[in-house]
Structure 1
Amino acid sequence: MAEFQTRYHEVRTTRSAGLSRGMASFAAVLLVTVVLGHRRGLVDTTAFFWVLGIVALLAAFALLLSGFAFSRLWKFGDRGGHDLTFGALLALVVLAPFGFVAYQIATLPMLRDISTDVDDPPALTAAASLRTSAMNRLEIPTAGERTLQTQSYPLVAGRRYDLSLDQVLQSVSAVLARQGWEIVVPPPAADKATGEVDIEAVARTFILALPSDVAIRMVDDGDSTFVDMRSASRYGRHDLGENAARITAFLAELDQEIANQAGTATTATPEQ
């Protein structure tokens, strides 16, 4: 009877630790697979978010199972320490990105549409026709959202260059080519009589390839050209700071491009 109890005891312990390892391994493989599939366009974004939720649940359960197995090991001297340790560590690795996202949600403003001109954002005309019912609607930011953006992202500001519209357009096109964004509305080849050129593109995040619609507006202001930019996420109520980072990075690169081409570049903050 004692031998039977010992064998039964070992089987239960090995099963908890083994389940932890197997579940964590499956969560890790599923995470890598769905991320690669979404980046290659094989997984729909809505389904992608659901799978990410499943991955987080699997990793959390794996961590709980490893904790249960550890309690058995601590109290009764059961076996399975190697499996539960591997399962716990792998589960923590899988959960780390989710923890980082939770931190960003808690510390960054809940915005999804950022513009250098909060009062008159560049139009996303083509983007509106490309968005489905599952995506965020393109709406005029509320007064609260405009104030929140101004307070949270003071560096998101338009640029004024002491150059002609054609010269600025040439530099903007060069920066766009390096970004690798999908151009939806290219700049007109001619007929700039209105004194304004608008470009629309689709940009994607580096790792998850989540899409955002981008608009760039260049306005001829006589002896100078003013550049405004807008970036709006297609999915999610929170952009995790991605749109503001995209705009500031693009305009910083545009500053450098114009400095290299023309020798000088000046910037100005638009009236808010």
Structure 2
Amino acid sequence: MPFRPHRPISIAASWSRTLGRFAVLLAFMALLLHRGGILVLPNTVAAVILASFLAVIVLGLSIIGFFMLWQVGAKGGHAAFSGMVMALMILGPVGFAASRYVQLPRIHDVSTDIAQAPQWIEEPAITPSWLPRANGDDPAARAAQSAAYPQVTGRRYDGAIDRVILAVRAVAQENKWTQVANVGVDLLVDGLEPADEAAEAPPTSTGEADPARAPVPLPRPDIENERVEPRPAFALIQYETRTLVLGIPQDILIRLV
């Protein structure tokens, strides 16, 4: 009768796969609910941190499962490998985000004009939470921004400010930014928007005179004595948007001078 050795079952490997599934599901559901606007950002971060702690435990259990497989031939190699993969799926992105959090300055806004940063037209609503927020207007924070993000600088365009505003609007529409408020924009773009082709199309003639369309004589405007309002020399446009993947809310303020 052939001898069949009895292989023990690694409980650690089995638990690594079970907890790994739970940790991945927790992180995925937190990000999905935040992307849908149901879960706020601080609670999402807390859920992801909890999933990361579970992933560390899962990784430790999978290592124990591999050790038992090597030493006593215990069953659970596939379970330990599955748990390790699921743990790395969480720890990889979280570890990268943690490294950026440590290396980069802890500021929540950046400005292309460090010396005279523009002020919000409508102050963004910020709900107090356990996540700390640094004051971006602090001189030390602006200096840290200059060292960390040297490519964030102002732009100069060879064109009139009213034409640049039309380009800004086109970019905002392409990126699906939502306008919150503006200052000085309406006076600059008055009459510059592309006209509607349907509105410019001449009416079709039916061969009969319409008394309602008869021209009405109007007095000639006194252009020489008419007061001309000065056009503004600057414009402010405030937008809000969300990032594509994670749906993190962002506020954008554009100043043209």
Which range, TM-score by smaller chain? 0.7 to 0.9
Shift of 1:64: 0.9
Shift of 1:111: 2.7
Shift of 1:103: 2.6
Task: Look up the match of 1:225.
Answer: none
Maintained 8 Å contact 1:117/1:158: yes
Task: Look up the match of 2:238.
Answer: 200
> TM (normalized to structure 2)?
0.73
Task: Look up the match of 2:141.
Answer: 145
Does structure 1 residue 47 correspond to structure 2 residue 43? yes
Q: Please point out which of 119, 126, 133 is paired with 2:128.
A: 133
Provide the alpha-carbon RMSD of the alignment. Answer: 2.3
Q: Please point out which of 21, 32, 36 is paired with 1:25.
A: 21
1:190 & 1:132 partners in 2: Cα distance? 32
**Number of aligned residue pairs:** 210
Task: Look up the match of 1:97.
Answer: 93
Matches within 5 A, 1:123-202: 123-128=119-124, 130-134=125-129, 139=135, 141-186=137-182, 190-192=186-188, 193-202=231-240
2:120 & 2:132 partners in 1: Cα distance? 13
Counterpart AA for 1:61: I
Shift of 1:116: 0.5
Task: Look up the match of 2:8.
Answer: 10
Matches within 5 A, 1:105-124: 105-124=101-120
2:167 & 2:120 partners in 1: Cα distance? 21
Shift of 1:170: 0.2
Task: Look up the match of 1:235.
Answer: none
Q: Assess, with a 3 A threshold, how the Cα gap between structure 1 residues 180 and 151 changes in structure 2: closer, same or farther.
A: same
Does structure 1 residue 57 correspond to structure 2 residue 95? no
Task: Look up the match of 1:234.
Answer: none
Counterpart AA for 2:8: E
Shift of 1:16: 1.4
1:94 & 1:203 partners in 2: Cα distance? 26
After superposition, the C-alpha distances for 1:85-106 in whole angstroms (9 at most, x for unaligned) are: 1111121122110111123234
Which structure has greater helix proportion?
A: 1
2:166 & 2:99 partners in 1: Cα distance? 39
Maintained 8 Å contact 2:108/2:136: no
Q: Please point out which of 71, 78, 86 is paired with 2:74.
A: 78
Task: Look up the match of 2:249.
Answer: 211
SS of match in other structure, 1:125: coil
- Comparing 181-190 with 88-97, greater Cα deviation is found at 181-190
> TM (normalized to structure 1)?
0.70
Maintained 8 Å contact 2:26/2:51: yes
After superposition, the C-alpha distances for 1:220-255 in whole angstroms (9 at most, x for unaligned) are: xxxxxxxxxxxxxxxxxxxxxxxxxxxxxxxxxxxx
SS of match in other structure, 1:133: coil
Q: Assess, with a 3 A threshold, how the Cα gap between structure 1 residues 71 and 40 changes in structure 2: closer, same or farther.
A: same
Maintained 8 Å contact 1:21/1:83: yes
Maintained 8 Å contact 1:124/1:213: no
| Percentage of matched positions with identical amino acids | 31
Shift of 1:188: 5.2
Counterpart AA for 1:68: I
Shift of 1:187: 6.0
Structure 2 unmatched runs, 5+: 189-230
SS of match in other structure, 2:173: helix
Shift of 1:120: 1.2
Which structure has greater strand proportion?
A: 1
Shift of 1:23: 0.9
Q: Assess, with a 3 A threshold, how the Cα gap between structure 1 residues 138 and 100 changes in structure 2: closer, same or farther.
A: closer
Shift of 1:51: 0.7
SS of match in other structure, 1:67: helix
